[in-house]
Amino acid sequence: MPNPPLRAARVFCAGTLACMDAESFEQLLVNHGASPGTLDDCTLAVIGAGLWPMTLAGAKDSRLAVLEELDRRAKSQGVIVIGERDLVTGLGLEKTCPKEQDQAEQQLFTTARLTELLGVSRERVRSWVKAGLIVPTKTEHGVWHFDFRQLAAARTLCDLTAAGLGTEKIRRSLSLLRKFMPQLEQPLEQLAALENSGKLLVRLEEGDLSEPDGQLHFEFTGDAPAGPVSPLRIAPGPRTATDWLAQGLEQEREGFLEESAASYRQALMTGGPDAQTCLNLANVLRALGNKPQALERYSQAVEADPSFADAWNNLGTLLVELGKADDAVVAFRKALEADPEDARAHYNLADTLDEMGRSDEALPHWRAYLRQDPTSRWGSHARQRLGGRG
C-alpha cells in the first residue's frame, strides 16, 4: 500500500508492533494527521507484526475475535485493515523496521520460556513438536529454541485448544489469521477435520492426523494422502561423551530432567566411568525422586575419583535423608579429607553430629564454618549451635 490513508484517520493497532513502541506509533500518527482509535471507532486498523498477547489490550475478546470483527467492519463499514509492514513500507520507513529474518533471529525462546509465556506444560510443547505443529528454529545441546513465528503459532494452538470453538468457527479464525498474519501459515494452514466427529485435526506433512495438543489419530476413511509410509526419522545428535555431557547439562538447566538423565547415561556408555558425569546423573535422579539410583551414582562418582569433595558431600546429604547418619558422617569426613576448607562439608558434618547427640565433635566444624560464613542465616545457625562456646 504505497499511500496509507492516514490523514484524519482514526487508527487502531491490533496486536504488538515489531518496528516501534506505542509512543513512537502515536507520534507517527500525529505527524501524519491521524489519531489513535479503538476497535469500535477506527477507520484504519494496523495489524502488528510483533508477538501478540493472549488477550489484546483494550479488547474484551481474544485476538481471533478481534480479527473477525475487523474483517466484518472492513466489509460493512469500509474500515481499512493493513499489516504493520505495509504501513512502514508505504511511509518509506523500512530502515526503521528489522527484516523478518533478523527479527526471528533476535527473538528466540527456549522451551522453558515458551511454557512460561503460554502457561502450558513442557509435555504439551513436546507433543506439538512431535506432531509437527510447531518446529524449533534451532536445537543446541538437545534444547529447543523457537522464533517469534513459532511462538505465535503455539499461542494460536493454545487458543484453539482452550476456546472450545466449533470446527467452522476455527476454520474461519485460521482463515483470518492467514489473511492478516501470513507468518502463521505453517503448519496451521494444513487444517483438517473429521466431519463425522467434528473434532479439529491437523494434517501433518506425512499425512497423519493430529489434534492441536499433539495426539495422533488413525484414519480409516481411505482419504489419507497417497504415498509410502514415512520411515523413522532420526535427527543428528551427540556423538562423543563430551557432547552427551554438554547436552545433559543444557537439558538439566532447562528442567528436562528425564531427558538429562538419559543424556548423562549415554555419556557414561560412550566414554566410560567419569566422576563428574556420575555426580550430575545422581543429582538429576535425586531431583526426580529416585534416591536409590542416585545413591548408586554418587557411590560410583567417589569410586571414580576418591578426592571428589562435591560428590562425597552430596553422597553424605543423601545418606542423611535415607536415615543413614553414621555413613553420612563418614562421607562428610571424606569430603574434608579431599578439601579441608570445604564449608558445606563442615556445616553438614557439624549438623549431622549435633542431630546424633555428638555435639562436642560438632564444635570444631561449626567454628570452621563460621570462619568462612559469619553473617548468613547458616552462619547464624552455626553460632546458635555453638551456644557461646565459640
Q: What is the pLDDT of residue 245?
A: 85
CB contact set of 261 (below 8 Å; sequence gap of 6+): 248, 281, 284, 285, 288
pTM > 0.75: no
Instruction: Please list the pLDDT of the chain residue by residue as tens digits (390 residues).
Output: 445 668 889 999 887 777 777 788 888 888 888 999 888 889 999 887 765 554 443 444 566 678 778 888 888 998 998 888 788 888 877 665 655 444 444 567 788 777 777 777 777 787 677 766 678 888 877 778 888 777 777 776 676 655 554 445 545 655 665 565 554 444 344 443 333 344 545 555 455 555 544 555 554 444 444 444 333 333 345 678 888 888 888 788 778 888 889 889 988 988 888 899 999 999 999 999 999 999 999 999 999 999 988 999 999 999 999 999 999 999 999 999 988 888 889 999 999 999 999 988 989 998 988 888 888 888 888 888 887 665
CB contact set of 180 (below 8 Å; sequence gap of 6+): 47, 67, 70, 81, 83
Q: What is the pLDDT of residue 27?
A: 86
Residue 302 C-alpha cell reads as: 567417589
CA 207 vs. chain centroid, Å, equals 28
Q: Which of helix, strand or coil describes residue 80?
A: strand
d(CA 28, CA 333): 70
Residue 341 DSSP symbol: T
Q: What is the pLDDT of residue 103?
A: 44
CB atoms < 10 A from the CB of 317, how many?
Answer: 19
